[in-house]
Chains A and B, each alone.
Chain A
Amino acid sequence: MATTLLRPDQSFYPSPRLAAEAPVETLAYMVTFDPTRKEPDGLVTLDVDPKSKGFGKQIGRVEAPNVGDEFHHFGWNVCSSALCPYAAHPHLERRYLLVPGLRSSRIYIFDVKPDPKHPKLVHTIEPKEIADRAGYSRPHTIHCGPDGIYVSALGNPDGDVPGGVFVIDHDTFAVKGRWELDRGPQKFAYDFWWHLGYDTAITSEWGTPKMVEGGVNPELLLAGEYGHRIHIWDLPKRRHRQEIDLGKEHQMVLELRPAHDPSKAFGFVGVVVSLKDLSSSIWTWYLDGSTYKVEKVIDIPAEPADPDVLPPLLKGFKAVPPLVSDINLSLDDRWLYVSAWGTGEFLQFDVSDPFKPKKTGSVHLGGIVRKAAHPTSGPLNGGPQMVELSRDGKRAYLTNSLYASWDEQFYPEGITSWATLIDAKPEGGLGLDKGFFTTFEQRTHQVHLEGGDASSDSYCYS
């Protein structure tokens, strides 16, 4: 199915520094889902060309042939890591988007080449193939690796442990099998990424499908039963190397953002909630000699609130947790963006010194209590959640839904979904973009940008 070119795909860049010079995107892809599981989920194309009349509006939408998939994250068949010297395949073409259904465990493959604005469904990987070949289900994160497409999965086909990573062939889209040869003590899965320059993979922990699909389980949460560790792996040898426990009170360790520069061995990971005070936190992991260590570098406190305006789950706490869900790191490894979905805040930190982040910007949109409005809207609900950053680091795209069953617990009135653009100032600071604020009938989730963005590609050259 894969097609090749005479020269490397021009959306591939050897280094993050060169990728930051890429042309400004004019098209964005966004997945949407129906929380009632009655209508098919969709892959939406958005016009993000500021010179266009339709700026910020939907141009196209292709539907899944089924209902109840719950589109969530997605990714490309191949990207800049194809230029890596040890497993180079530079002439494969970046043209397919792999879109997993987090609930159905199907993976749809859409071709964006014939008409980038109207992708076409060309192949479906059925849950059975993933279960039979890899022993996993609930595919989550997709990363195009040097030698194949890597996918994390929350659990086994029964919805229990272990979750892990499996590999899809980037020529045929066949599921090649389970990635781990030796998983050590690792059981929970969520996100994964890597330091290609150090042959190191990192995985994080949420919970099993049984622990998350019915909503967050307060008893499990208060008992500290959700994930609280990260795992360090030997990437080519596919072996577990080290477990790092952040401590039981740090529940749900989600998005991993390693430095894009392959010569640097540090990165950032967000923790959703602390059992001590409902705060969220960001941690920096780093290589110290031959082992990795972590250090908490950002604390985002909960905000006191009147129990009358809180959803049942939070009334007893008399506070809104920030619920940091997604984070993103600019290609120059200098700016870290943080979504606080509970309090409705989007924050920017200067992480030039990854151990001493400086808060440089903040905007409010939505939030459980605050319901902050956009200049072009009334009060909003949901909050900044998935954040995608352009390769030049100047534009952050936000959507406001987390996960159907969790949306209902924290925003029981039902989320009105939106997507918007935040202007990131080169010297630091954030601004709302008045031209791009759009609401959608279905829940909005991850956004990826035409040609690549700050979470789609990885690099082998410093």
Chain B
Amino acid sequence: MTGALWPWAALVLLGAYHGVNPGMGWLFAVARGLQEKNRRAVLGSLLPIAIGHEASIVIVVVAVSLTQQFLPPFVVRLIAALVLVSFGVYKLARPRSHPGGFGMRVGPGGLAAWSFLMSSAHGAGLMLAPVLLGLPVYAAYHSLREISLQAVAAASLHVAAMLLVMGIVSVIVYEKIGVRILRRGWFNLDLGWSLVLIASGMITLFTAI
């Protein structure tokens, strides 16, 4: 793992970004706490949200790991680049897509399902593809076991960072500052996120060529 610290740092930073983004989960946890007037409802929401997020990411991680086994690296990079760019363009056109059929009264399973769909619609897992491709195991041939281990480590590190930040933010908002912060602090990052997706796709494309 020597020499390639940046992918691990990127995984943590992306996790922190998803943790701090109100649309990805902490706000749902706070709303449930306010509804139940109980901090346990806040804390109890965090793990299901993290599990849904992890599930959404694992799909991409598995896809990258498997294609890596059977296809030449530059083809994997090419596919990842195309998916990223087209998804980024889609998010430019429809930035506010969100899963339907959910409400405030979801159980842990519903929360995890909501988080899975929300993370997938956001492209949270896709964003990890170029980072995963930067990990050393993908640079040369390794066994499936080595790749799997590192993939699980990568996804877990990302979600651990998200869970930590999400937990801190939700408890601070619930206990101290209140949802008033939404009016000032909820910035519109839709455009930025779409551009980052497209840019990552472009970079991945160039590294493939």
Contacts and interface: CB of A to CB of B under 8 A. Distances in A.
Contacts of A86: 28, 98, 102-104, 106, 114
Contact of A85 (B27, B183, B187): B27
Contacts of B182: 8, 14, 83, 90
Nearest to B111: A86
Interface in A131-157: 147
Interface string A80-103: 000111111111100000000000
A462 B101 contact: no
A88 B179 CA distance: 14
Nearest to A170: B96
Interface string A440-462: 00000000000000000000111
Contacts of A352: none
Given A6-B188, A12-B183, A85 B28 contact: yes
B102 A8 contact: no
Interface size class on chain B is 20 to 34
Interface in B174-188: 179-180, 182-184, 186-188
Contacts of A461: 30-31, 34, 179
A66 interface: no
Contacts of B145: none
B104 A196 contact: yes
Nearest to A15: B179
A429 interface: no
A91 B180 contact: no
Contact of A88 (B22, B34, B100): B22
Contact of A197 (B96, B101, B104): B104
Contact of A90 (B28, B36, B104, B186): B186
Interface size class on chain A is 35 or more
B23 interface: yes
Interface string B19-36: 000110001101100111
A84 B186 CA distance: 13
Nearest to A86: B102
Contacts of B186: 7-8, 90-91
A373 interface: no
A462 B35 contact: yes
A90 B28 CA distance: 14
B142 interface: no
Interface string A89-123: 11110000000000000000000000000000000
Given A86-B114, A89-B98, A8 B105 contact: no
Contact of A4 (B22, B99, B190): B190
B192 to A, nearest CB: 11
B117 to A, nearest CB: 10
A247 to B, nearest CB: 31
A87 B98 contact: yes
Contacts, number: 95
A408 to B, nearest CB: 43
B40 interface: no
- What secondary structure prevails in chain B residues at the interface with A? loop
B187 A7 contact: yes
A13 B184 CA distance: 11
A462 B37 contact: yes
A83 B186 CA distance: 10
A199 interface: yes
A7 B184 CA distance: 7
A7 B188 contact: yes
A197 B96 CA distance: 22
Nearest to A195: B104
B112 to A, nearest CB: 13
A18 interface: yes
A8 to B, nearest CB: 5
Contacts of B101: 236-237
Contacts of B188: 4-7, 90-91
A236 B103 contact: yes
A10 interface: yes
A263 interface: yes
Interface string A1-28: 0001111101011110010000000000
A236 B100 CA distance: 8
A198 B103 CA distance: 8
A202 interface: no
B100 A262 contact: no
Interface of B: 22-23, 27-28, 30-31, 34-37, 95-96, 98-106, 114, 179-180, 182-184, 186-188, 190
18 contacts: A7-B183, A15-B34, A18-B179, A18-B180, A85-B22, A85-B23, A85-B27, A85-B104, A86-B104, A87-B100, A87-B102, A88-B23, A91-B188, A92-B96, A197-B105, A199-B103, A199-B104, A460-B104
Given A4-B190, A87-B102, A237-B101, 8 more contacts: A4-B95, A8-B182, A14-B182, A85-B28, A86-B114, A89-B96, A90-B188, A236-B100
